[in-house]
Amino acid sequence: MRIDEIKEISIDNYDGPENERGVDFSIMNGISTCPFYGIIRYIHNKTFSVVERNLALECGDLCHKCFACYRALSIYFRGVNENKQTLKDIGANNVIKIFQEVVNNELDFEYCKEIFTQLLKQCEEVDTMLSKYTLFSDFIIDNSGYYDDPEDKKRTIANIKDSLLHYLSNFLSLVEDEPVWIEDENDINSKVGIEIPFNLNVKIKFIANDEEFTKVIHFIGKLDGVHVRIKDNNSLIIHENKTASRLDDSWLGQWYKSHQITGYCLAGYYFTKQECLQARVLGMQIPAPKTSGYAFRMERVDREQFNFNDWARWVLTVNEFIEDYKDCPEKAVMNTHACCRYYKQCSFVPLCCSNVEERKRILEEEMITDEWNPLESD
Ligand code: SF4
């Protein structure tokens, strides 16, 4: 369907059935790249059995816990500098929550609080803020269960820790000008802009074939950070963390129009109830380059109404693919330009090279169900 005009985009909390997962950016991007792959993998949750670790995902998840911890610590240390107990409490509680998630969900709050207190004592023995923050991320990494894989020489613990030093040396000055958003600094239970899962209904009114339609999309995801720009009248800015193996100019260029960033600005607006038209993407390379290149790069990007309209067109188009093929995934469109994305053969090649009847059999008999919930991972 040709969409002639986006009339209105409005957002509300998701209020549909509890067992409906919704779609996040990764799912929509997967379907947009190859509908056949995306619908089978993300709507039917089917894959061929995987025995290998997904180190990219594990490593990314671990780094995101460290980034979240740095955000929480920045609030705590702001509280120390400004002699404000509520800020210290907000920061401390958020660090402790991250410890609980990373180390072991069964560890209770008081136990993790004790770890936090011990790490603060160790902070007294080191001089720089970089060293103090590193004590906390080292604790997370060393207790996360992550271990080196002999097959992957890049995503080693040593390389992750080294890259985090580069990240921190940039983040610490950035966060002074762009502190983490806190709804009410006097309320220790205030909403805080760190790792915010969202579960929304996005209602899009549009004109197609001279008729007006309304479509509601169940949109989910997680924001890494919501910050404020002190030098720009405290305007809101989304922070999106990325780990990458290369931070060249094309890496940077992809964010100017990224639908992921546009969707996150909408979610940021709903979470804070404030206008949110800016984002900053913070890239960390693992391993950090030894000679030329960048270990850390960041880019600030802006969004206007036309970006949200373009995002809505894309979301509607992807969701039309889902509607059209969810009950007959074996007939979904195959975008063969994606068969070697990221320079790796797509694991669905044997399925796609079979006839339609054989595909149905493979789907039922040879593939396993592996549900992935974006709200539980990055
Ligand atoms: S093999 Fe190619 S066409 Fe088939 S699902 Fe993968 S990307 Fe799509």
Residue 206 Cα, ligand 1 centroid: separation in angstroms? 31
E-only strand ranges, the chain: 3-13, 46-47, 194-208, 211-229, 235-244, 278-285, 296-302, 368-369
Q: What is the pLDDT of residues 11-28, one digit of tens each?
A: 999 999 998 999 999 999
C-alpha–C-alpha distance, residues 118 and 101, integer Å:
18
Q: What is the pLDDT of residues 75-96, one digit of tens each?
A: 999 999 999 999 999 999 999 9
- Ligand 1 pocket: which residues have CB below 6 Å? 34, 36-37, 334-336, 338-339, 346, 348-349, 352
Q: Indicate the pTM of the whole model.
A: 0.94
Name the pLDDT band for 102 (thresholds 50, 70, 90).
confident
Mutual orientation of helices 109-123 and 129-142 as an angle, nearest 10°? 140
Query: Which residue's CA lies nearest to atom 5 of ligand 1?
Result: 37
Ligand 1 atom with the smallest distance to the CA of 35 is: 8
Percent of the chain past pLDDT 70, that is, above it, reads: 97
Average pLDDT, the chain: 94
Residue 336 Cα, ligand 1 centroid: separation in angstroms? 6
**pLDDT at 291 > cutoff 90:** no
Q: Which of 335, 337, 367 to mutate to test the pocket of ligand 1 (most atoms within 8 A of CB)?
A: 335
Residue 338 Cα, ligand 1 centroid: separation in angstroms? 6
Ligand 1 atom with the smallest distance to the CA of 346 is: 6
C-alpha–C-alpha distance, residues 24 and 319, integer Å:
11
Asked if residues 75 and 182 have their Cβ atoms less than 8 Å apart, the reply is yes
Token digits for 101?
Answer: 């998630």
Nearest to 271 by CA among 192, 165, 173: 192
Domain ranges in the chain are 55-177
Sheet holding 194-208, edge to edge: 3-13, 194-208, 211-229, 235-244, 278-285, 296-302
